[in-house]
Structure formats: C-alpha cells, structure tokens
Amino acid sequence: MTISEAARLIRLPKLFAVLLLAPLACVESVSLDESPPNIVYILADDLGYGELGSYGQTLIKTPNLDRLAEQGMRFTQHYSGSPVCAPSRATLMSGKHTGHGIIKDNFELGGWLDSEEFGQMPLPAGSFTLGRMLQEVGYVTAAIGKWGLGGPGSSGVPNEQGFDLFYGYLDQKQAHNYYPTHLWRNQVWDTLSNEYFSPHQRLEGDPDDPASYEEFSGRDYAQDLMAAEALDFVSTHRDEPFFLYLPFPIPHLALQVPDSALSEYDGAWEETPYLGDQSYLPHQRPKAAYAAMITRMDAQIGQLLALLDELGLTENTLVMFSSDNGTTYTGGVDASFFESTAGLRGLKGSVYEGGIRVPFIARWPGMIEPGSSSEHVSAFWDIVPTLAELTSAVAPDDIDGISLLPTLLGTGLQEGHQALYWEYHGLWDGAQAVRMGDWKGVRLGGHSSVDVPIELYDLATDPGETRDVSADYPQIVERIAGVMAGRTESEVVPGWNFPARVEGN
C-alpha cells in the first residue's frame, strides 16, 4: 500500500499516513528471571472516583473490588491519562502523557453503521506499547474489551500492537451498544445473535410500559462474552507468564444490562424513565441499570479472582484495577445521586479532578501489604515503567512515567513526579491541566487566545477546586505555564495545538 492510498483509505492527512507506515523506536529484548508474575490489568470505562465501596460508595454494590482493596493497596491520588477514552488508553499503552503522545483526543473515523466501522485514529505501525514490551520478555498477551486505538484493518489493531489475542470492540462507537451484531476476535468478525439497531434511538412508546424498551436489548450481552473470554485465556495459559489487559466497557453508556442483574436493585430507588433525549438508549429504570452494570462487572471480576485461586495462580499474579476517566455527564446517568466523584469537581470531559482522578487498586499477595493505601501522586503513564521494572523489560527512555514498584512493594525510596500534565480538545475550547505537588493549574479556552488565564487550586486544602488562588501565587502560575508550554505540537491534527484551533481540522 502506498502512502497516498493509506491516506485515502482512512481519510486522514497524508502526513498521518506516513506515521502509520513508519515504525517507531524498537524495543530491546531481554531475558526474564525465573517465575515472573502474571499480570492482570482491569480497566473500567467511565467509572467515577467515588463509585466503589472502598472509595466511599454506599449505593452501588461492589463486594469483589472492595475485597481486592482489602487484600491489596488502594491509591487515593491516582490519575487517568485523559478525561476521555482513546487518549487515556494511549497513555496507558505508551507511558507518555497526552502532551507528548500522538493521540491527544478522540478522533473518530467512519460512522455508526456496521458498514462504516473504521474506529478511531490508529496507533502507527511499530509503536511501542505495553503489550509489545511484555511480549519481548516472554509474556503471552491478551487485550479483551474495548480497544479504541485503531479500527478494523488499520495499523492500530491489537494484534499489530503487542497482543497475541484480542476479543471485543475495536471501534468505540460500536461499544455504545452492549447488544452489538458482532465483536472482533483478533481481526475476524465474530457474529452475535443480536439484530442491529441504532445506539442513539429515542423512546417512541409508553415510558411506563416495560415492553416499550424491549427493542433495545438482544440475546448476546457483550460484557458477558468478554468476561468469559478472559476466564478462558487464563485457563489456557496457566502454565506460562501472561499479561491480561481487560478494558471492560462498563459502565460506559448505553444503559443496558440483563434483567437478571437489574433485579438486584428492584425497588431500591424512585425512578424517572430516561427517554434517550440526551443521547444513548432509553431505559425505564436508569439508576438501577447503572448500578446493576457496575455490580455485574464486579461479579465477573470476582469470577476471575476465584479462577486464579482455583488454578493456584493468586500468589504469583499482580492484579490491578482502574478507570479510564471520570463519570459521564449524559445519557441518563445521575452522578449527583450516586455521589460519583466523592466531592471532586467535574465529570468526564473535564480536566478538573472529577474528570481525571480515578480509583486504582493493586493486589499481589505476599508482596503488596493487604489493606494498605497510598497518597502517592501517580498516573496511567506510570504503569509502563512499573511493569518494566517488575519484569526486567525495557521501556523507551523518552516516556513520562515513573515506576510505582517501590510504593507497591514498600521497598526503597519512591521517586515523585515534578509535574503531571493533561490536555483535552473536545470541550472547553481546549483545556490543559497540571498537577505540581499539591498545586493544580487549569487553563480553559486555550484554542482561542494565548492570554487565557490559568486557574490555580491548592488541593491540600481545597480538593474540590472551589477557590482560585492564582492571584496570590503568580510564581506558581508561571511554573505551571512553563509545563504547559513544554507539550509537543501535533503534526497530525492541527486542531490539537495551542493557542488557536486551525479551522477545518
């Protein structure tokens, strides 16, 4: 395929086609010591900081994840890579924050129909990824769930990016429906027993009649299929070191869950039907549906943990759990009712704390102190160097992460970040944020002007980001502005640059 053909195929600028076909830096191969640990990294989708019992939730039942926290370490100041899906996952895979990574925001290709499924901006061929790094040191690798870093036939599909097995959604748009016509097994279409329907239909029938909602379901619930696939992968590879990346789609909208799960919340709360008027599919009992989705995922994580016990793998398996960003603001989800952010400001799409601070739990019996917690400030891009140090793998020198292993194992001095950085381009006319110690700087509207002021918050005394103290600390603001200025310009999407959005991009 020529560069011009590639550009025409995915409808992107010619420069991006060059990036797709040009390998990045190679990863050095190293030998593993004996008995390397298995690694399971579970990623929820749009799960808020306060939506687990171990983080203060009182309405949604999450007993298995709460037990995971009791058996391991709970981080209280951990951050996702972005306030939205694809760039957050890219930081996890690359070890680079959005200021230095290629994928700085969601970039949708194609449309909603099955025939228009092109996915999101793909990772370029030869990219360094967490999966590839672990393959290089002898791990068998799987990604099961929602990918979002390259659609069918692109350079970004998981099998081309360090994963021996993929099962799930390649395209984030397809994941707006838990009863899709298909999932993908590696690069092969896996037909399901569901009929196609638009994931953005509004209710046309009687909102008080359960039959009005029947058209928004099917036979094969995608979350269940992916959870079963994870169990099969572990059983199949029990005798070799494995890395299981589980980016589950729950609780991302739409509100869809089998009736057997919904019944657990029968009569729990007064409900007002959601009619589909804020995008995503309608549901008669939106509160119960949202809670039931999370509880169903929790139960499936419990099944995975039980399997590790049954196979005698628990003692030699590091299990981690987090979320790709904060709770959503639309589609029938009542974040205020569930206190989803635990008092933090903002939701998904926001660079305030509620959009990017997420739960993070790590368990490794005999190695991580049970029932412990850490206030260490960390982020998604720390996972690459953490697992590199753990497995004697080699990560690139230019990543932004710092290994968390000293904190996890309670050994040695933990190095801290001088600053953490985020940017987001889909809302707020361009947003940037920096965390520097207890200081948090936020700049909104950066696409429009070079003179947009930076808000400053002291998270030690104001975790809700309610008092802008920038006027009192101009030197701190200046330092934060310097971090923001240190981002790498995007040559792929000019609209991902500051200060001004380029029209037409």
Neighbour count for residue 99 (Cβ, 10 Å): 20
pLDDT band at 34 (very low <50, low <70, confident <90, very high): low
pLDDT at position 35 is 78
Q: At what angle do helices 85-94 and 383-391 cross, to 10 degrees?
A: 30
pLDDT at 502 over 70: no
Q: Does domain 425-496 have CATH number 2.30.30.90?
A: no
pLDDT at 350 over 90: yes
Residue with tokens 């590879």: 237
Range 176-180, long-range pairs (CB < 8 A, 24+ positions): 176/200, 176/252, 176/253, 176/254, 176/280, 177/254, 177/256, 177/281, 178/221, 178/222, 178/223, 178/249, 178/254, 178/256, 178/257, 179/216, 179/217, 179/218, 179/219, 179/220, 179/221, 179/222, 179/256, 180/222
φ and ψ at residue 43, rounded to 5 degrees: -120, 115
pLDDT at position 212 is 95
Check if the beta carbon of residue 345 is closer than 8 Å to that of residue 352.
yes
Taking only the tens place, the pLDDT of each residue in 423-436 is 999 999 999 999 99
State the pTM of this model. Answer: 0.92
* Rounded distance between C-alpha atoms, residue 61 and residue 208, angstroms: 26
* Rounded distance between C-alpha atoms, residue 306 and residue 2, angstroms: 49
Check if the beta carbon of residue 391 is closer than 8 Å to that of residue 139.
yes
pLDDT at position 500 is 58
Taking only the tens place, the pLDDT of each residue in 402-423 is 999 999 999 989 999 999 999 9
Check if the beta carbon of residue 245 is closer than 8 Å to that of residue 144.
yes
DSSP class per residue in 335-395: HHHHTTTTT-S--TT-SSHHHHEEEEEEE-TTTS-TTEEE---EEGGGHHHHHHHHHT---
The closest of 314, 320, 312 to 405, measured between CA atoms, is 320
Q: What is the largest CA-CA distance in the chain?
A: 63
Would you state the structure tokens that stand for residue 38, as one six-digit string? 């298995």
Higher pLDDT, 243 or 19: 243
pLDDT band at 23 (very low <50, low <70, confident <90, very high): very low
Cis peptide leading into residue 254 (ω within 30°):
yes
Check if the beta carbon of residue 184 is closer than 8 Å to that of residue 167.
yes
Would you state the structure tokens that stand for residue 118, as one six-digit string? 């092109």
Check if the beta carbon of residue 410 is closer than 8 Å to that of residue 370.
no
CA angle 448, 341, 120 (to 5 degrees): 55
Taking only the tens place, the pLDDT of each residue in 441-455 is 999 999 998 789 999
Taking only the tens place, the pLDDT of each residue in 452-473 is 999 999 999 999 999 999 999 9
Secondary-structure breakdown of the chain: helix, strand, coil percentages, each rounded to the nearest 5:
30, 20, 50
Mean pLDDT of 287-304: 98
Q: How far is CA 293 from CA 46, 68, 287, in A?
A: 12, 19, 10
Percent of the chain with pLDDT strictly greater than 70 = 92
Q: How far is CA 237 from CA 118, 139, 142, 321, 404, in A?
A: 31, 10, 11, 21, 27
Residue with tokens 């970004």: 156
Class of residue 375 by CB neighbours under 10 A (exposed 0-12, middle 13-18, buried 19+): exposed
* Rounded distance between C-alpha atoms, residue 143 and residue 146, angstroms: 8
3-376: which CATH topology?
Alkaline Phosphatase, subunit A (3.40.720)
Where in the chain are the domains? 3-376, 425-496
Contact residues for 78 (Cβ-Cβ < 8 A; gap 6+): 322, 357, 358, 359, 360, 378, 379
Mean pLDDT of 3-24: 35
* Rounded distance between C-alpha atoms, residue 35 and residue 240, angstroms: 9
Check if the beta carbon of residue 119 is closer than 8 Å to that of residue 109.
yes
Would you state the structure tokens that stand for residue 108, as one six-digit string? 């949708």
Alpha-carbon 51 to chain mean position: 15
Helix runs in 154-221, H state only = none
